[in-house]
Structure 1
């Protein structure tokens, strides 16, 4: 009769360890699932409406803003090239192109606000397309992508009445500044000050982990930042761009976005580019507009705040959900075929200043990040242009 051999003491030990590890793994899975459910429930409760429909300005915001201006100027100094000072963000342009922005003839009455008040109105515009980083890095590197629109010859009183252009003449413009993610990786001015200071000091890890105290860790914002730094689109004309921060839209509050609108242009497929080349996004833009002589089309849309939902003004880390408020088209953008990649136009592009505060009261920027922009954009622009003028 065959009698199986008993496992050795060492084998029995390994079996016990294996059973313990399996139980431990099961417990970890249960705890992880429970933590995820609790976290989801907590965030659902925390980020639920209603919210204020008016700005809430912290008492120390002005002092924090001055700190941020000094840090931003320091970043401009750090990024100086041999012949010029660069922007503190969106330093690398793929090109500045001429565009036509048209208000639809059938625009509803409640959407006729500011520069969209007259159906059929045509605005001439400049559009600057860019990478988000403060360094002019390769396009293939994960990054945010930017679109800034400047409507020209806009009548009416400007929000910054003393602002002048590079020719010294008073501005008559409406700017829309957007980038390729729906929400920002900081909530407010206080978080922005801490984040930008860490980055300026070369301590990127401290941007989201300011101390050893886990209560100060900004894990959700870190995930937003990682999502923002995405791979490059095949062309700047194929990306969607968001204002991120809110603005007045007549008596309402709203966010803007620009989406590709291929149905409004002749059919065109963007040729594949060699993504190993450092400037392939400029090449793609050149191929479409200059070589193939094909226009690009977009729709400019707004999303109006519903204060009964969790659509806060003062927290730019919160994406306003389309389920709570849909986007509505208020203008069509057409970028005609053109030759834009010339030394003269590239220099003009570098000298153009885009600022959400260049515009009308009907589109006044609101919220802490926009109030910060008012001071920082102007200070950095003045500093950069004064230094470049002396080169």
Structure 2
């Protein structure tokens, strides 16, 4: 009798397992077919601005200021994202001598020309947490003494060209409307609910949650040992492009970083200080661009979609060299905190495009002005 019971139970559980497997495979197939249809070209070459974007932007600015006040460090107001810097570093950015003629626009218009620059390396969180905590990592580049009219009206940035990146190729929201909902939930401390705005599964953002979890990656051995991506698109003359920065140790003297104590709260700063300050060894990167091919699904308005490298490969346009230097002084750290990076500190040839970049213009300017005013810094130092 007992044997018969166990055989029946096993048969019943086997059937349930097969049914669950069939449902899972069916769901995967349906999802694959849906996304293959949804993420198919062609796409527009032009920006498309939703009618609600202005109102959504103002709401996000209010939440961003609320976040910087929540995370203020004693008397100083920090950034609403990428609050913790590993260092601000003097650098040289040299345009490749063999740059393709189609890419010779803006700061890349003169092959062989070198720009002096500041590079800020950072964690992504709005609060300065331990480096070992899973997080995004950021790189911001500010080219100096760049002639020409800029997109920003602020005279403090009239001679600058900024590039802003972090170390994942896709963003965790598709547009400003979703960012408003997501950021409002995070500002309330409801991080998981940011991707589940209601009980209706049609509004759940499972794919975007997966992107966010991938973005929160373990720390690299050093801030100079990871790739940084623009995520959002930009103009390069008449072209629509994305850009990235990849490590290029082959362009610098050979160097082996000593093993770091990853339990230290600031081991990424320590790694930079070890290489650039103590061992006096520069670090090298390559700046690359990827052209939009509008015949395929390479949208301007959805930065959650990674442009396929198999369709459009990245092309190298410039070399970046972080100079050997002593950067970790109290005065320079304060100056670093007062630096303002914004992709709209830009020549028209590098104009940011897409909803997330339009949002950045308003939010970065508002939060930067608020932060610098509260900190007693009337303008960025550099």
> What TM-score results when the alignment is normalised by the length of structure 2?
0.97
Task: Give the alignment partner of residue 254 of structure 1, picking from 236, 241, 247.
Answer: 241
| Residue 279 of structure 1 pairs with residue 266 of structure 2 | yes
Q: Which residue does the alignment assign to 1:133?
A: 125
Is residue 2:199 matched to residue 1:208?
A: no
Question: In structure 1, how many angstroms separate the alpha carbons of the residues matched to 2:214 and 2:155?
Answer: 37
Unaligned runs of 5+ in 2: none
Compare CA radii of gyration and give the structure with the larger one: 1
Unmatched runs of 5 consecutive residues or more in structure 1: 1-8
* Residue pairs, 1:53-68, within 5 angstroms: 53-68=45-60
Deviations 1:234-289 (A, max 9, x none): 00000100000000010010001000011111111222100000000000000010
Q: Which residue of 2 aligns with 1:42?
A: 34
Residue 325 (structure 2) pairs with residue 349 (structure 1): no
Q: Which residue of 2 aligns with 1:103?
A: 95
Q: How big is each residue's C-alpha offset from its partner over 1:296-335, in whole Å with a ceiling of 9 and x where there is no partner?
A: 0000000010110100000010000101111001100011
* 1:4 match: none
User: Is 1:31 aligned to 2:23, yes or no?
Assistant: yes
CA-to-partner distance for each residue in 1:24-45, whole Å, 9 max, x for gaps? 1122112212221221121111
Separation of aligned partners in 2, 1:345 and 1:171: 22
**Residues 93-135 of structure 1, C-alpha deviations (whole Å, 9 max, x = no match):** 0000000000112222111111000011110000000000000
Shift of 1:390: 8.2
2:338–2:377 Cα contact (<8 Å) kept? no
Q: How far apart are the structure 1 equivalents of 2:276 and 2:187?
A: 37
Cα deviation code 1:56-109 (max 9, x no counterpart): 001111111111111111111111121200000000000000000001122221
Distance 2:320 2:215 in 1: 24
Q: For residues 175 and 390 of structure 1, do their structure 2 counterparts lie closer, same or farther at Cα, with a shift above 3 Å needed?
A: closer
Q: How does 1:116-127 map to 2 (within 5 A)?
A: 116-127=108-119
3-state SS, counterpart of residue 286 of structure 1: helix
2:179 corresponds to 1:189: no
Structure 1 residue 163 corresponds to structure 2 residue 150: no
2: CA distance, partners of 1:217 / 1:116: 42
Q: 1:369 aligns with which of 356, 359, 364?
A: 356
Secondary structure at 1:149 match in 2:
strand
Q: Give the root-mean-square deviation of aligned CA atoms.
A: 1.1
Alignment length (residue pairs): 378
Counterpart pick for 2:80 among 88, 95, 104: 88
Q: Distance in 1 between matches of 2:322 and 2:191?
A: 37
- Give the secondary structure class of the aligned counterpart of 2:375: helix
Shift of 1:171: 2.3
* 2:158 alignment partner, SS class: coil
Whole-angstrom distance in 1 between the partners of 2:105 and 2:248: 22
Which residue in 2 is equivalent to 1:176? 163
Structure 2 residue 308 is matched with structure 1 residue 316:
no
Deviates more, 1:380-389 or 1:26-35: 26-35
Between the aligned partners of 2:95 and 2:108, the Cα distance in structure 1 is 6
Matches within 5 A, 1:233-248: 233-248=220-235
Q: Which range moves more in the overlay, 198-207 or 293-302?
A: 198-207
Q: Residues of 2 paired with 1:225 and 1:191: CA distance?
A: 14
Distance 1:194 1:60 in 2: 13
- CA shift at 1:18, angstroms? 1.1
